Every structure is written in C-alpha cells, then in structure tokens.
Amino acid sequence: MNPLPLTNADEERFLIQRLARSGSQREHAAAQLFARYAPLFHRHFQRHGLRPAEAEELVQEVFILILRGASNYQAGAAPPSAWLWMIARNALISRHRRKEPVVDDEQAYTLALERLVADPEPTDDELADCVRRQFARFAAEHGERAEVLEHIAWHGWKPQDVATLLGRSPGATREYLSQCRKALRPYLEACREWLEET
Amino acid sequence: MNHDERNREEDDDIAWLAILAGREPPGADPRTQREARALRRMLLERAPSAGSAPGPSWEAFKQRLDREGWPEAERPRRWVRMPQALAAGIALMVVSVTALYSVWSFRVLPDLSADFDDYPLARGDVAVPERFVAHPRRAVEGLKRQLKALNLPYRVQEVARGLQVEFYVGPEPAPSVASFLDEQNWSVGDDYWVRVLYREQ
C-alpha cells in the first residue's frame, strides 16, 4: 500500500501563516508546502490533459497565488488542504478557459484510469478488484465526482471542506455529495455479491 | 418519498461520507459500512504520495521567484484587518438603525443570531411543534441564551399564533447539542433545522 500523503493540518496552518511573513521563514515554509503539494498538483494537472512542462508551469502559478493569498487564509474556516486544493482547482479552470486543453478533460481522466485498470496490482481480493474496476468506470463518466470522493478519502474531509473546494454553499454541497453517491451506486451494484458476503 | 424515508436516506449519506473519510459514525447501516469501507480501502491504495514520482523542482521555482521577485503577500481584506472598535461601532449602528426601523414601521423583524446566514427552506408540510408557556417572550429569551451558548444560529419570528424559533444544528450535531435536543425532546427536520412555536397558555 502506498503511504498516505501526510496532511498534518496544524503544521500546514502554521506554514501558511509563515507564508504571509517575509524573509527566510517565508522561503522555508514555501519550500515545505511545495515539497508536499507540488507533486500532487502536478499529477492532477497532467490527469486533466496538461503536458508535464505545462503542468509544472501551472504548479508554479498556483504557488505564486498561494504566496500572495496566504494572508487571507482563515485558519478556522477550512483545513489547509481544502484551501490549497481550491486554489489549484480554480487555477486549472482558469487555465482551461484561457487555452484549450491538449486532451479533453474527461478523456485524460479516462486514459489515466484505463491505465490503472489495465495494469492492476495482483490481488486475491475479488471485492477490492471489483470496487477498483467499477470506480474506474464511474470516474470515466463522472470525473469531478470521482475526484471529490478521492479527496474525502485521502484528506478525511467533511462536507463543509468539500464546500470550500467547490465554492458552493453547505446545503448545495450536501446535495452534490448525495448525488455523487447516487451516481456511484449503479456501478457498485456489480460488486454487491462480495459486499453482501463481507 | 416521505419525510422518514428522506431522513433515513440523508442520515445514511452522512454516515457513508463519514466512513469514506475514515470516521466511525455510530449506528451506521452494515451494508453502508461495508460499501464505504471497501471504497475507502481502494482509494487509499491509490492515494498518491508526494515522493512517489519526480515532481516539479523547488529549485527551478525558487530561481524564478528570485529572478522575478517574490510576490507581495496581499494585504488582508479590509474586514479582516478592521479594528475591533470600528467593527463594533458599525455593528452597533446597524443594530440601532434596524431597531429604529422596526419601531417606526410597527413591524417585528426576525430576531437573528449573529451567525445566522442560511434561511431554512419553507416547506408547507412541516408541522411546527408547539410549546405552551405562561410567558412566551421570556421563554424564548431563555432559549436564545442556550442557543448562543451552544453556538447555534437561530431566528426568532413573531407569527400570528406566537413566537417561532428556528435554529440550525447541522448534519453532525455536537454531543452537547444532541443532549440539549434530547433534554428538550425536540426532533431535527430533514434540513437539519429545529423549529418550535412558543404559545401562551
């Protein structure tokens, strides 16, 4: 199992506060956050159709936005991961508005997931295989919804944190998440046999 | 779909999301638990780690910043750096104008808590439970104090039959809020609002 990205919220809050200062503290904090998030953003942008060099350029733009906006981050409002991902998401949306993506958004996601499905890790776990396969199919049809569910699992986000990412009201986000689950349900029906057994 | 079914479905969604995020909500349906856990396990296996692939170079970024200059941190938005005294003055002025307008127009405005920012959905089929008391206004003042202590946004509105109090408890009420609701024997609506009508005995 791959290690989970460490998202120590308190440490990241501290680092973001340091970004709003000047001098070596700011540089050190920027380097720490860059080491943690730049590879994740880079991978995310490539998954959305950007070439590696374009993705790296966008990562740099995102970090410039983070450096500029750090003084407006409200520590109590959202976990750092949700705030940082919100900036990355908005930057990607702006970039796609400015310039057509090399590969269509959904197509890139589908390609990435097809690679995952085509080369599964060997496993004897039929339930895990089924869930992996069906989630890939779901993600091919519902890219953004799949990403939101990934964020919830990876970062332990609550619905209000997803609201920060999406820029929606809490009520609209609850409805969105309910619709995510409804959309996923038919795909997981194929795994029902193993889900009942477990 | 009736209210009970909708409530059950919403509760189930909340539990499913909580398990997906790695929490253990009490009383979740076993099938929901199995599904959310299997999905979480699969997603965690696929979680990217920062060191799993060569990423963008910090050195290259730092060189760019050194060349172009590090971006100035934005000045905090005005409301963030507004001195507290000035903020309090403005708040006082708003409250005074609102109160004067209320008296002048002979209308009772809704009494909102400071953090009330989301109006409940008006649903015709919501039956508001009634509480008969000797002094509705006094009882509502007491309730408002309790809601403030629990940090719950509320709205008090004078309606034809008495004083209606509405407050939002959210999908995952804190234990203190849950025990408060139990004590009062109040149920939460499917939109996570509690509504009570205080009437004179």
HEC secondary structure over chain B: CCHHHHHHHHHHHHHHHHHHCCCCCCCCCHHHHHHHHHHHHHHHHCCCCCCCCCCCCHHHHHHHHHHHCCCCCCCCCHHHHCCHHHHHHHHHHHHHHHHHHHHHCCCCCCEECCCCCCCCCCCCCCCCCEEEECCHHHHHHHHHHHHHHCCCCEEEEEECCEEEEEEECCCCCCHHHHHHHHHHCCCCCCCCEEEEEEEEC
Q: Do A93 and A133 share a domain, yes or no?
A: no
Q: What is the pLDDT of residue B183?
A: 84
Q: Which residue of A has its CA nearest to B72?
A: A68
CATH number reported for the structural domain that contains residue A43 in this entry: 1.10.1740.10
Task: Quickly list H helices, A20-155.
Answer: 24-47, 52-69, 80-98, 105-118, 126-141, 143-155
User: Which of A102, A117, A133 is at the close of a domain?
Assistant: A102
Q: Do B118 and A169 touch (CB under 8 A)?
A: yes
Q: Which two tokens stand for residue A13?
A: 């809050």
Distance CA B17, CA A173 (A): 12
Q: Do B55 and A174 touch (CB under 8 A)?
A: no
Give contacts of A 14-43 with B, CB under 8 A.
19-22, 26-27, 31, 34-40, 42-43
Q: Do A147 and A158 share a domain, yes or no?
A: yes
Q: Do A124 and A88 share a domain, yes or no?
A: no
Q: Do A52 and A33 share a domain, yes or no?
A: yes
Nearest Cβ partner for A64 among B49, B53, B71: B71
Four-residue CA torsion sign, B118, A74, A181, A176: positive
Q: Do A18 and A33 share a domain, yes or no?
A: yes
Distance CA B199, CA B137 (A): 9
Residues from chain B contacting residue A150 (CB–CB below 8 Å) = 43, 46-47
Give contacts of A 94-113 with B, CB under 8 A.
none
> Nearest Cα to B143, choosing from B198, B200, B201?
B198
Q: Do A85 and A117 share a domain, yes or no?
A: no
Q: Is B114 on the interface with A (CB under 8 A)?
A: no
Q: What is the pLDDT of residue B32?
A: 92
Distance CA B39, CA B18 (A): 12
Segment among A33-37, B5-9, B120-124, B134-138 with least mean pLDDT = B120-124
Q: What is the pLDDT of residue A63?
A: 96
Range of the domain at A124: 104-198
Q: Is B80 on the interface with A (CB under 8 A)?
A: yes
Contacts of B149 (CB under 8 A, 6+ apart): none
CATH number reported for the structural domain that contains residue A188 in this entry: 1.10.10
SS3 at position A127: helix
Nearest Cβ partner for A132 among B42, B57, B191: B42
User: Which of A70, A102, A134 is at the close of a domain?
Assistant: A102
Q: Which two tokens stand for residue A180?
A: 């995510």
HSE on the CB side for B169, CA within 13 Å? Answer: 23
Nearest Cβ partner for B56 among A21, A36, A42: A42
Sheet containing strand B154-159, edge to edge, reads B111-112, B154-159, B162-168, B193-200, B130-133
Q: Is A172 on the interface with B (CB under 8 A)?
A: no
Contacts of B74 (CB under 8 A, 6+ apart): A68, A69, A71, A72
Distance CA B40, CA B34 (A): 10
Q: Do A97 and A111 share a domain, yes or no?
A: no
Q: Which two tokens stand for residue B98?
A: 């609102």
Q: Which two tokens stand for residue A110?
A: 């589908």
Q: Which residue of B has its CA nearest to A198?
A: B34
Where residue B157 falls among pLDDT bands split at 50, 70, 90? confident
**Tens digit of pLDDT per residue, chain A (198 long)?**
444 444 478 888 889 988 988 788 899 999 999 999 999 999 899 888 888 999 999 999 999 999 999 988 887 778 899 999 999 999 999 988 877 555 555 555 555 555 555 455 545 678 888 999 999 999 988 989 999 999 999 999 999 999 999 999 989 999 999 999 999 999 999 998 888 765
Confidence check: pLDDT of B138 > 50: yes
Give contacts of A 110-149 with B, CB under 8 A.
116, 121, 127-128, 131-132, 135, 149
Q: Do A91 and A72 share a domain, yes or no?
A: yes
Q: Do A90 and A114 share a domain, yes or no?
A: no
pLDDT (mean) for B130-146: 90
Q: Do A46 and A122 share a domain, yes or no?
A: no
Q: Do A72 and B80 touch (CB under 8 A)?
A: yes
Q: Do A121 and A170 share a domain, yes or no?
A: yes
Average predicted confidence (pLDDT) for chain B: 80
Q: Do A91 and A113 share a domain, yes or no?
A: no
Q: What is the distance between the terminal CA atoms of chain A, rounded to a whole angstrom?
A: 21
User: Which of A102, A123, A145 is at the close of a domain?
Assistant: A102
A104 min Cα distance to partner chain B (Å): 22
Q: Is residue B45 within 8 Å of residue A2, measured between CB atoms?
A: yes
Q: Do B74 and A72 touch (CB under 8 A)?
A: yes
Four-residue CA torsion sign, A133, A134, A135, A138: positive
- Per the model's pLDDT, the better-predicted residue between B75 and A170 turns out to be A170
Domain count for chain A, please give it.
2
Say which residue the tokens 């990217």 belong to: B48
* Total Cβ atoms within 10 A of residue B53: 12
Confidence check: pLDDT of B88 > 80: no
Q: pTM value?
A: 0.61
Alpha carbon separation from A99 to A66, A90, A96, B180 (Å, rounded)? 22, 14, 5, 54
Q: Is residue A136 within 8 Å of residue A117, measured between CB atoms?
A: yes
Q: Is B78 on the interface with A (CB under 8 A)?
A: no
φ/ψ of residue A158, rounded to 5:
-95, 165
Q: What is the pLDDT of residue B45?
A: 87
Q: Which residue of B has its CA nearest to A3?
A: B49
- Please report, rounded to a whole number, the percentage of residues in chain B having pLDDT higher than 90: 21
